[in-house]
A and B are shown apart, each in its own frame.
Chain A
Amino acid sequence: MGLLSDEELARDLGLGQAAALEALVRRYHEPLLGYLFRLLRDRSVAEDLVQETLIHLCRGARQYRYPSSFRPWLYGIATNLCRDYWKSAHHRHSLATLTFDAPEALVPATDLRSRVEDLAAWQETRAEVEAAVSALPGAYREVLVLRFYQDLSIKEIAETLLLPEGTVKWRLFESLRKLRKNLEGLAMDGGLPAGERKSRTGRGPTR
């Protein structure tokens, strides 16, 4: 017997089944934290918003209409909460003083076993990519994170953000272009992060 789909679990949650809530939380705690963290760059706030997203999910479960897609609904809640946070006075106040989680805490466990030099290079590249992604305007960052980190389809992203698919595609492509520009701006010698400069096709960056 296979696992229940997200949609089936959401339906069961609406019917008041506690097991459905547990299954959904165990399935989506990490993806939601990753999504919100990449949008906010602040683990504490991301954790709070994960909690609030799931509270909203519980509250709205009765209104869920099976079998409509679950992930756009869930990420839509998270995105709206995130946008509310961006608008908040607290966020504006904290922008200038934002501190980041220590990179070592975010390195995949497998890399901890590798050599120190590899670890340092990983952290350097990670910091560069994080800075480049974070420098994207919110609208572009949302689609980029949803597509490349949360693995949502174009259709799901469109449903999540309530946008036409064409707009999502255009924003996605533009986000990559902007990201490339940001990465080139970060690397003084005009390339991508250190680890990836060699992987390019041998031509210089275009501007």
Chain B
Amino acid sequence: MKGRHGNDDLKKAQQDLESALGFPLSEVGAAATPEETAGLAAVLMVLPRYTAPRPSALDTDRLLTVLTSHVSAGDDVALPRTRARARFRQTMAAFPLTASSGWSWLQAVRPQLRVFSPAFWLASALVLLAGSFLLYRPDGDLVPLMLLSPLLAALGVAYAFRNTDRSTFELEATSALPMETITLARLTLVVAYNLLVGLVVLAGTALTISGINLGMLAVSWLATLLFWSGLALFASVRWGPWIGMGLATGLWALELVARFTWPGLFFLGVAQTGLDLGVRVLLLILGAGAIFLAARMKPVRGSEGVA
């Protein structure tokens, strides 16, 4: 009896399979064993589980509007692309900031270039150049440059995170890349650019002020910038971007206050021209070390690091 039931089951499975395929198995010369036939029939049963998204009535209306415009206007109508959104997400997802990714997160910088318009770069350079000229001190004090660079970096980051429009914000919010990584990528762009422009100003300063050693100046300035950038980066990755920015900015403010009120506490002597090569090299090493460590860590995500 049991065997008979088994045969009936197999027969039914074969019928189901052939009905679904739309042809008898003999037509393809398929030498399917009874077990395989039953297995294939079972596969057919799970296929409906793979559901696909359904467009809403609104989606269809929108599509119709696009098509109607296209048909009536010929090929000149620019079709809206949902693929652009997908491409953005996939590009961002291509650069995961993970512990094992090492320096690959730096690649996230490139897609961020589009956030900045050419006017931004031009304005940054002009402000730095004009500011350095206006605050020029014949005694060789580098305070103007030291003050302007972080200020410009802060303004640049603020510009990068300005509220452009809702769709941009939505893209960033839905990006596979954490917002922190986007923050760091933009920060890197702004700092790197200011570094370049600052170097030009530095060279100009060295040329106009006699007795200044350009090499020592560069080391001094680069060391300071690298140290503060590295500290901000490390703190951002370790504890979140807002803590990182706050820590770096706060210490920077303390440094400036100390310069004018308690010179004895002016521990890093950032804005002094009396250069101590040992301190500068130490700052360079610390800054580079902080950046290296930051790149090896997994950053905190928005929910963890940012309220």
Is B60 at the interface (CB under 8 A from chain A)?
A: yes
B67 touches A125 (CB 8 A): no
- Distance in angstroms from B73 CB to nearest chain A CB is 12
Write the A105-139 contact mask toward B (1 if CB under 8 angstroms, else 0): 11110000000000000100110011001000000
Given A51-B66, A173-B21, A206-B36, check contact A90 B42 (CB 8 Å): no
B28 touches A170 (CB 8 A): yes
Is A9 at the interface (CB under 8 A from chain B)?
A: no
How many residues of chain B are within 8 Å of chain A by beta carbon? 52
A196 touches B176 (CB 8 A): no
Is B152 at the interface (CB under 8 A from chain A)?
A: no
Most chain A CB atoms below 10 A, which of B22, B39, B54: B39
CA distance A153 to B81 in the complex (A): 33
CA distance A51 to B60 in the complex (A): 10
CA distance A106 to B51 in the complex (A): 6
A183 touches B22 (CB 8 A): no
Is A15 at the interface (CB under 8 A from chain B)?
A: no
Is B260 at the interface (CB under 8 A from chain A)?
A: no
Is B53 at the interface (CB under 8 A from chain A)?
A: yes
How would you classify the secondary structure of chain A's contact residues: helix, strand, loop or mixed? helix
A183 touches B43 (CB 8 A): yes
Write the B54-88 contact mask toward A (1 if CB under 8 angstroms, else 0): 11000110011011101100000001011101110
A148 touches B82 (CB 8 A): no
A106 touches B93 (CB 8 A): no
How many residues of chain A are within 8 Å of chain B by beta carbon? 67
Given A58-B71, A180-B43, check contact A149 B52 (CB 8 Å): yes
Q: Which of A187-203 contact B (CB under 8 A)?
A: 192-193, 195-196, 199-203
Given A47-B82, A133-B50, A180-B40, check contact A21 B35 (CB 8 Å): no
B43 touches A55 (CB 8 A): no
Given A173-B25, A179-B43, check contact A33 B82 (CB 8 Å): no
A200 touches B42 (CB 8 A): yes
Most chain A CB atoms below 10 A, which of B44, B45, B63, B90: B90
A-B contact pairs, 15 of them (CB 8 A): A21-B71, A25-B60, A25-B67, A34-B54, A44-B82, A93-B94, A99-B93, A126-B49, A129-B46, A173-B21, A176-B40, A180-B39, A180-B40, A196-B45, A201-B10
